[in-house]
Structure 1
């Protein structure tokens, strides 16, 4: 019987996206590693900000040795360096263990029991966490740059509709549709509704007819 608790954290950037999309994947991982998820903490906030009430509610509740389970490191951090180190210092000070489905070195935290192995894994995992957090931040910055370029283009072509967040989502959907991705795939990647994908698809078809 494990003496620690496992808390799952789920995050999506906008209210149009489904923060709970990864719940099944986390439940499957927990089942395969004999973990029982004590609670899910779910919110729609950007990973590029520390203003995330549910994440900090989890961190306040969790005790030393508890596991924070996430689908990907970018669910926790797309933060700038200073903010990432601030968040990581809180996690380390509380003695929590981050287990991420996309970070195999972290999976052993779900089963390790002796102190030496735990410390060795912690050293390796800290390095991997920093690398993935840096990659997640770069991906965020690259996407923001491409989105701004896309919005400028959309304005010049008269396709700028709604709030900036709506346009950003629309441009992402357009790109995936152009790559011949299925509705199911787009839903999984972006967490948006099928009706949103359908609306964008119809707009693209109307535009193609006009060309």
Structure 2
């Protein structure tokens, strides 16, 4: 019996770490050892069969294997897809765990009912978030406010607060790539700032 965990990786590292931590904590409580993590960077809007979750369930896992998801919203982006995944898993003899809700899904009726409710709740919440975002943007537009990022460059940027520190590093002939690491920014951000402040030639 093999134990897998599915991570839908986002650009937010903290979110990824939270998923991993929640899954490992759940696995320890359930006595599931040797968990193999599968990371997926594809958008959740893509059908589950065409993502690594589909490859995991349909090709990698064998009957009796178990897979852990951090939460139901990490499985798929619609109730229908969540149910399709659970149905496939049940027919294939696979066991699905959802760490956040501390739940285990098999082929029982209670599991199917709970899966429907959880999937629907996640879908409704996304709809509410989308609706609130659209309403907020419409309100700002009605008030004559500019939507999106302001045009042109900002007068003050984050690295301005570290100007003295950066100039000190430059005076010591420390490489710009090293300076970027010291001030916790990307090299491109540092180069842009140096150019804006006329500390290097464009």
Query: TM-score under structure 2 normalisation?
Result: 0.60
Q: Whose radius of gyration is greater, 1 or 2?
A: 2
Aligned mates of 1:84, 1:26 — CA distance in 2: 18
1:61 and 2:35 equivalent?
no
The offset of 1:88, in angstroms, is 3.1
2:79–2:119 Cα contact (<8 Å) kept: no
Q: Structure 2 regions of 5+ residues with no counterpart?
A: 151-184, 186-202
Aligned mates of 2:39, 2:149 — CA distance in 1: 29
1:95 and 2:89 equivalent?
no
Structure 1 stretch displaced more, 128-137 or 39-48: 39-48
The aligned counterpart of 2:129 is 143
Q: List structure 1 runs of 4+ shifted beyond 6 angstroms.
A: none
The aligned counterpart of 1:72 is 71
The offset of 1:37, in angstroms, is 3.8
- Secondary structure, counterpart of 2:37 in structure 1: strand
2:79–2:116 Cα contact (<8 Å) kept: no
- Taking only aligned residues, the RMSD between alpha carbons, in angstroms, comes to 2.9
1:27 and 2:24 equivalent?
yes
Q: Which has the higher helix share?
A: 1
1:49 and 2:46 equivalent?
yes
The offset of 1:7, in angstroms, is 0.6
Higher relative contact order (CA 8 A, sep 6+): 1
The aligned counterpart of 1:158 is 146
1:133 and 2:119 equivalent?
yes
1:15 and 2:14 equivalent?
no
The offset of 1:48, in angstroms, is 4.1
The aligned counterpart of 1:176 is none
Corresponding residue pairs, total: 147
- Secondary structure, counterpart of 2:35 in structure 1: strand
Aligned mates of 1:49, 1:79 — CA distance in 2: 10
The offset of 1:138, in angstroms, is 0.8
Aligned mates of 1:123, 1:50 — CA distance in 2: 25
Q: What is the CA deviation profile of residues 145-164 of structure 1, one whole-angstrom value per residue up to 9, with x for unaligned ones?
A: 122223334554214129xx
Query: TM-score under structure 1 normalisation?
Result: 0.58
Q: What is the CA deviation profile of residues 42-100 of structure 1, one whole-angstrom value per residue up to 9, with x for unaligned ones?
A: 2234434315522122212011121110121111133153x344333322232211111
